[in-house]
Structure 1
Amino acid sequence: MTRLIGPDDRGAATVLAAVLTICIVVVLWLVVMLGAAASARHRAENAADLAALAAALRAPGGDAAACDRAQRIARGMGAVVSTCEWAGWEVRVEVTAELPDLFPGHAPVRARARAGPVGA
């Protein structure tokens, strides 16, 4: 009778299980990183939209007051207004949001939005 598992094959299943476990952990880590990046992008887009709307709402009070309100709204959502520009009655806002610390050496996420009266 022939043995299917020789003395040299002992522990092969342990090594295979360890390699598969490492592969699964790496794939899960990549999925978490992609989810965090998508979440930061959505947060920046939402902050830009709300900041632009808030600035447009405060337009009669002056450009400085409107951009200050946009900055406060963006900060409340975990982002920072990098630019707040006016063209007539239309405001254009650019917002940056930081990615989580999972991304070493990353650039911040940027989003832009504009708001103003209909037809502007």
Structure 2
Amino acid sequence: MTGRTGSGGVGRACSRPGTPPRAGGVRRPGRDRDRGSGTVLALGLIAVLMVLTLAVVGLARAVHARGTAQTAADLGALAAAAAVQRPTGTEPCVAARTVVAANDAELTGCTVTGEVAVVSTAAAVAGVGGGDAGAGGRLLARATARAGPAP
């Protein structure tokens, strides 16, 4: 006997010829072990994605801080060199400190030799640590720039 018997689809149905019908409510052994494994897999993937997202955000913050420190160093060195070449009564390192502070960084070094100014800066990585620059676990991005006449 293959297929359905009787009229209107009432009777026994076989999925394949020669396959005995399954009794209602009886489960195959071993299939219950896999229940919920998709949920565990999905939670694991979500956790991995969250860790990767946090890593990428941290890296983006560090790159931004490095750009801030380099921009502040470049502009501070230009301000110091301009103060040397066009004396206005302002000391070159004071001019550099003002420009660096306006660019959200901290002046960590300033050297003027002749008409050449070398400025070093540090900028804090946003959202990491606290306290004074360099202390308290705060991460700093550092940069140095030189400005003056061509050598």
Q: TM-score range by the shorter chain?
A: 0.7 to 0.9
Deviates more, 1:59-68 or 1:47-56: 59-68
What number of residue pairs does the alignment pair up? 119
Match of 1:89 among 115, 123, 128: 115
The ranges of structure 1 where at least 4 consecutive aligned residues each deviate by more than 6 angstroms after the TM superposition are none
**1:109 alignment partner AA:** A
Tell me what 1:49 maps to.
74
* Residue 9 to residue 63, structure 1, CA distance change in 2 (3 Å): farther
User: Per-residue CA shift, 1:25-81, capped at 9, x if unaligned?
Assistant: 111111111111111111111110000001111114389621111111111111011
The alignment partner of 2:42 has SS state of helix
Query: CA offset at residue 117 of structure 1?
Result: 1.8
Give secondary structure in 2 for the equivalent of 1:55. helix
In the superposition, the TM-score normalised over structure 2's length comes to 0.70
Matching of residue 112 in structure 1 with residue 144 in structure 2: yes
Task: Using the aligned pairs only, state the percent identity.
Answer: 34
Note the aligned Cα RMSD (angstroms): 2.3
Of structures 1 and 2, the one scoring higher in RCO (CA 8 A, sep 6+) is 1
* Structure 1 residue ranges without an equivalent (≥5): none
TM-score, normalised relative to structure 1: 0.87
CA contact (8 A) 2:83 2:90 kept: no
